Structure formats: structure tokens, C-alpha cells
Amino acid sequence: MQTTWDTYDHRVEALRPVSPVVRELVLAPTGEHLPYRSGQYVMLDVRRPGAPERAYSLADAPRPDGRVRLLVTRYPAGPTSGWVHDGLRVGDEVSLTGPFGTMTLSPGREGPVLLLGAGSGLAPVGALAQTLVSEQPDRPVVLCFSGRTSADALDRDRLERLSRRHWQLRYLCVLTREPAAPLHGRVPAMLGDLVGRLTGWEVYVAGSEGFVRDCRASALALGAAPAMVRTEEFFADPVPRPAGETLASGGAA
């Protein structure tokens, strides 16, 4: 088991709001590339006094150019996520320590895979989806995102394109606060209707504590084996957002 981790210097190459509460960061290595596996996370040091290192999941499968992408949700009065949203600029230098986490694909497994992500919990399961379609094209994969409204549907175009290119990948976007959406409701309650029995499936879940807990319970009730359900909890629940808040007022620009 790995007991020491290295630190990798990066420069912020791009920053953009991708939902009312999430900012996407693209970081380019300035030295050695961070070695990692899809599903893992890093500790981000934004090199700002008062903004401690925080864990963020890597949102893409490893790339040959070493660039990494993070999806950072603004947490209420959160010093680090607040700095990422309000202070960090293109060209700033940051460090990543890691990789950490065991929510990775197990070698030698076959059979269908269910990936569940809420909000920025999409990051690790989206990376897993990329790896599955490129390395295990025979495994059926369902990637189910949970968000509030269509404005919160992170990476939607990218995932729709990926599922059009790979027959094995089914992408579902479930919205909790948009009654007119094709899929409206809470993922844990809808899981049986969305995917049916889960006997023999591998299940990966990431997001807030409540989402992870409820999805895990639903997956087990639908027949998934406990050892086949892997989770990553981000701890904090998303920011309570006033009705009518927009991208600009969300401070994510």
C-alpha cells in the first residue's frame, strides 16, 4: 500500500463556470506529470494563506499531455472553494498532492457497471466512464448524473457525445427540481425504474454524504452485492441556493 505521496506543480490553464455553483479548472503540469487512475482524487493547494489544501476528484481519465480537470463546487463560506471561484486566475500556480482514493476499476472484472454522481460527484464517475469505454468496450455502462436543474447538468454535451460514440454507454441526466425534465426526481428512489435489478453489477457512487448513503441502500435493495458497491463521499451537501440565482449572482464567473 502506498504510504507517501508526491506533489506536482501545475499552472491554471483555463477556468470557467460550468453551472451556477461549479467552476471547472484545467491545470497544466509545469514539471512531472501526476500519475493516477480514473476515480482517484488529489489534494489541491491553491497557495493562498487561509485556504487549506482540499480534496478534489480528477474529472478525466489520465491524458498523455498530463493536463487534469477539476470540478469545484462553491461551499458556504468555504475558504478553498471560495478562492477557486473568486480569486484564482489563469496563470496562477497551484500544487497537487496524491493521487489518493480507491474508487478505481478492479482488474479482471466483467459485467455491467452503474456509475452514479451528484453535482461535482460527476468528476470521478465521469473519469471512470471514459476509461471503461476506451479499455473495456464490451461492458455495458450506465452513467447517471443527479443535479437540480438543467443549468446544473455538468458535462452534459460531452457525455451525450461520448454515449453516441460508444454503444455500451447509456447516459441519464436526472433533475430534482425540474418537473418538466424527461427524468425528474431523486436518483435513489428511481434507480429500480432506471436500471432494474442490479444483481451482478458493479456500482460506483460519488457526491454528498446523503446521496451516497441513499444510492448505496437502493443499490443493495436492488440486488447489488455489498462488495461490488464502491463509494466516494464529498462530505458536505451542496450550497443552499436562493431561488432565481443565476450564473453571475452565483459568483462562479
Site residues (CB under 6 A) for ligand FAD?
41, 54-57, 71-73, 75-82, 120, 123, 232, 234-236
Pairing mode, strands 68-73 and 93-100: unpaired
Nearer to ligand FAD, 45 or 202 (CB): 45
- Nearest residue (CB) to ligand FAD, 179 versus 242: 242
Q: Tell me the closest approach of the beta carbon of residue 72 to ligand FAD, in angstroms.
A: 4
Shortest spacing between CB 200 and ligand FAD, in angstroms: 27
Pick between residue 54 and residue 195 the one whose CB is nearest to ligand FAD.
Answer: 54
Please identify, using beta-carbon distances, which residue of 144 and 252 lies nearer to ligand FAD.
Answer: 252
Residue nearest to ligand FAD (CB): 78
**Is the dihedral angle over the CA atoms 167, 176, 154, 210 positive or is it negative?**
negative
Residue 71 or 114 having the CB closest to ligand FAD: 71
What are phi and psi for residue 228, nearest 5 degrees?
-95, 5
Shortest reach from residue 127's CB to ligand FAD, in Å? 10
Rounded least distance, CB 16 to ligand FAD, Å: 15
d(CA 123, CA 155): 9
Beta carbon of residue 3, minimum distance to ligand FAD (angstroms, whole number): 18
- Which is closer to ligand FAD, CB of 117 or CB of 195? 117
For strand 22-29 and strand 6-17, is the pairing parallel, antiparallel, or unpaired?
A: antiparallel
Residue 188 beta carbon to ligand FAD: minimum distance, rounded to whole angstroms:
20
